[in-house]
Chain A
Amino acid sequence: MIGALIARDLRRAFTGAAWLPMAFFLLVAALMPFAIGPDARLLSAIGPGALWIAALTAALLPIERLVEPDRADGVLDQLALHAMAEENIAAAKIAAHWLTFAPLLLIAAVPASALLAMDGPALGRTELALAVGTPGLAALAVAIAAVTAGLPRAGSLAGLLLLPLAVPLLIFGAANALLLEAAVSLLLTAGAPFVAGAAIRAART
Chain B
Amino acid sequence: MTALLSFEKVTLRRGGRLLFEELDLALGPGEALHVSGRNGSGKSSLIRLAAGLLHAERGRVERSALALADDKLALDRELPLKRALRFWSRPVDSAMDALGIAYLAEVPVRLLSSGQAKRAALARVASSGAPLWLLDEPLNGLDSDGAERLAALVKSHLSSGGATLIASHQPLAGECRQLALGQ
**Is B78 among interface residues, defined by CB-CB distance under 8 A?**
yes
A78-107 interface mask toward B, CB cutoff 8 Å, 1 = contact, 0 = none? 101110000000000000000000000000
Closest to A204 in B: B53
B161 to chain A, nearest CB (A): 20
B32-70 interface mask toward A, CB cutoff 8 Å, 1 = contact, 0 = none? 000000000000000010011110000000000011101
Q: Are B74 and A74 in contact (CB under 8 A)?
A: yes
**Is A65 among interface residues, defined by CB-CB distance under 8 A?**
no
Is chain B's interface secondary structure helix, strand, loop, or mixed overall? loop
Q: Are A74 and B70 in contact (CB under 8 A)?
A: yes
A59-77 interface mask toward B, CB cutoff 8 Å, 1 = contact, 0 = none? 0000000000000111101
Cβ contact of B54, chosen from A15, A72, A82, A204, cutoff 8 A: A204
Cβ contact of B87, chosen from A4, A77, A80, A204, cutoff 8 A: A4
Interface size classification for chain A: 10 to 19
**Is B97 among interface residues, defined by CB-CB distance under 8 A?**
no
**Is B73 among interface residues, defined by CB-CB distance under 8 A?**
yes
Residues on B close to A: CB < 8 A?
A: 48, 51-54, 66-68, 70, 72-78, 87-88, 124
Q: How many A-B residue pairs have CB under 8 A?
A: 40
Of residues 3 through 33 on chain A, the ones whose CB sits less than 8 Å from some CB of chain B are 4, 8, 12, 15-16
Q: Are A8 and B87 in contact (CB under 8 A)?
A: yes
A124 to chain B, nearest CB (A): 38
Q: Are A75 and B78 in contact (CB under 8 A)?
A: no
In the bound complex, CA of A81 to CA of B124 (Å): 13
A-B contact pairs, 21 of them (CB 8 A): A4-B87, A8-B87, A12-B76, A73-B75, A73-B77, A74-B73, A74-B74, A77-B51, A77-B68, A77-B70, A77-B74, A78-B68, A78-B74, A78-B88, A78-B124, A80-B52, A80-B53, A81-B51, A82-B88, A204-B48, A204-B53
Q: For B68, what are the chain A residues with a Cβ–Cβ distance below 8 Å? A: 77-78, 81
Other A-B pairs beyond A77-B70, A81-B53, 8, CB < 8 Å: A12-B78, A73-B74, A74-B70, A74-B74, A77-B53, A78-B74, A80-B52, A81-B68
Q: For A204, what are the chain B residues with a Cβ–Cβ distance below 8 Å? A: 48, 53-54
User: Known: A4-B87, A81-B67, A82-B88. Is A73-B73 also a contact (CB below 8 A)?
Assistant: yes
B16 to chain A, nearest CB (A): 14
Q: For B73, what are the chain A residues with a Cβ–Cβ distance below 8 Å? A: 73-74
Q: Are B72 and A77 in contact (CB under 8 A)?
A: yes
In the bound complex, CA of A81 to CA of B51 (Å): 7
A40 to chain B, nearest CB (A): 45
Nearest 8 interchain pairs by C-beta = A74-B72, A74-B74, A78-B74, A75-B74, A204-B53, A77-B53, A73-B72, A73-B74
B45 to chain A, nearest CB (A): 9
B139 to chain A, nearest CB (A): 18
Q: For A80, what are the chain B residues with a Cβ–Cβ distance below 8 Å? A: 52-53
Closest to B72 in A: A74
A82 to chain B, nearest CB (A): 7
Cβ contact of B78, chosen from A4, A15, A72, A81, cutoff 8 A: A15
In the bound complex, CA of A73 to CA of B78 (Å): 13
B68 to chain A, nearest CB (A): 6
Q: For A75, what are the chain B residues with a Cβ–Cβ distance below 8 Å? A: 74
B52 to chain A, nearest CB (A): 7
Closest to B89 in A: A82
B104 to chain A, nearest CB (A): 18
